Amino acid sequence: AQKVTQAQTEISVVEKEDVTLDCVYETRDTTYYLFWYKQPPSGELVFLIRRNSFDEQNEISGRYSWNFQKSTSSFNFTITASQVVDSAVYFCALSEATGNQFYFGTGTSLTVIP
């Protein structure tokens, strides 16, 4: 069973639009960690944010914000006023307290059209 589901395979938006990338996870652990990574066209994987299961506060960093809801097992990522530089593949990942592995979603490819 897939532990991390990113149902949106590809999204296209026009510059300055807001966009939300969905992430749904599955775990039986009470302690776990969620991550978002960005993979721009140049190919590297860049760590964006980590949340632990005990902290449901939403977080904002500039144009980026994350909404963590345990009730729906979701950890969604919103980009406000999107820019062309936001074009990338975004991965959500889960790490459980009982192991050291990361479970990555299949990624959402975001294209921001100028």
Partner 1 sequence: DAGVIQSPRHEVTEMGQEVTLRCKPISGHDYLFWYRQTMMRGLELLIYFNNNVPIDDSGMPEDRFSAKMPNASFSTLKIQPSEPRDSAVYFCASSLRTRGRPQHFGDGTRLSIL
The contact set with partner 1 (CB under 8 A) reads 33, 35, 37, 43-47, 50, 52, 91, 95, 97, 100-102, 104, 106-107
Q: Which is nearer to partner 1, 82 or 88 (CB)?
A: 88
Copy the structure tokens of residue 102.
Answer: 């990361």
CA angle, residues 21, 25, 28, in degrees to nearest 5: 165
Question: 27 and 70 in contact (C-beta within 8 Å)?
Answer: no
CA distance 15 to 93: 26
Q: Which is nearer to partner 1, 84 or 99 (CB)?
A: 99
Name the minimum Å distance from CB 86 to partner 1: 19
Name the minimum Å distance from CB 100 to partner 1: 6
